[in-house]
Amino acid sequence: MLRRLYKFYRNYYYCVNGAAIGLALGLSLVFAGILETIIIAACIFAGFYVGKRMQKDKDFIKKLLDKILPPGTYR
């Protein structure tokens, strides 16, 4: 059963993920409202961006904090 489900998911990866994202967005709009949904989406994209940058450069947060704050204040 799980093997068939995994095979279906592999064959229809984009469709299944798109449907899941659409479901999550629709439920968020119904239960939270449009403004809260936009804020949640912005937080998700910001988290994705930071995570992607950290995957490439492990010291991304330290460098970012050095740009924003005086050097060494976060340690």
DSSP secondary structure, 8-32, as one string = HHHHTHHHHHHHHHHHHHHHHHHHH
In the chain, what are the domain boundaries? 1-32, 33-75
pLDDT of 3? 93
Whole-prediction pTM: 0.61
- Give Cα separations from 39 to 20, 21, 28, 53 (angstroms): 19, 16, 11, 21
pLDDT tens string 9-62: 899 888 888 899 889 989 989 999 999 989 988 988 888 888 888 888 888 888
